[in-house]
Amino acid sequence: MRWTGGAAGRRLPGVIVRRELPADADAVRAVHRAAFARDPATGADRAPADVVEPGLVDELRLDTGFLPALSLVAEVDGVVVGHVIATRGHLDPGDAPALGLGPLGVLPGMQGRGVGTVLVHALLAVAEAAGEQLVALLGEPAYYRRFGFRPAAEFGVTAPEPAWGGYFQARLLGGSATVGGAFRYAAPFDRL
């Protein structure tokens, strides 16, 4: 998938979104290490040991909840500049399948140029084509609203941590009408 759009009128030539390959692992780690190097709440630099996202992605790849078709990279001129992943989650009671989106990372120099947007749109399209019904995430409502995410509570879906409030969001796919329950991420999230 090739995309040539850009946010705020800035053109971003030649972004290609594709499925992550095993050879991309180091580049994906570097993207997440750079993307999460600053604390989003304070803007302060985080200690390398506090940047958990690269290790989380490595663990997610080894988990039974890993869905290879839902681990996507964005590249420009053959260089990986962004990554997004969705893994198998569940809604309890009943163990109904759902997806947990995240982490989403973009190299700092490429942020604000639409790379994250195209990654999320591509991931949602693949998930919907695969027959998935619900995607949940923990993230900034102002950012994820543009993709159709709303507070998960509106769908009767409760967060793993009640303190997340409106930052825990969900989106229905494929015309799903009824969902609900307590969301459970893939096991590696429990170790954070």
Tens-digit pLDDT profile for residues 67-86: 999 999 999 999 999 999 99
| pLDDT tens, residue by residue, 160-191 | 999 999 999 999 998 776 678 999 999 999 98
Nearest alpha carbon to residue 138 among 151, 125, 124, 155? 151
| Structure token pair of residue 131 | 């027959």
| pLDDT tens, residue by residue, 100-122 | 999 999 999 999 999 999 999 99
Q: Is the pTM of this model over 0.85?
A: yes
33 vs 17: CA distance, rounded Å: 20
Domain boundaries, the chain: 2-191
Per-residue pLDDT band for 3 (boundaries 50, 70, 90) equals: very low
Task: Give residue 41's pLDDT.
Answer: 76
3 vs 5: CA distance, rounded Å: 6
Nearest alpha carbon to residue 111 among 41, 31, 191? 31
Task: Give residue 15's pLDDT.
Answer: 93
Give the pairing type, strands 150-151 and 96-106.
Answer: unpaired
User: E-strand spans in 132-180?
Assistant: 134-138, 150-151, 157-158, 168-172
Task: Give residue 165's pLDDT.
Answer: 96
- State in words which class domain 2-191 has: alpha beta
117 vs 100: CA distance, rounded Å: 17
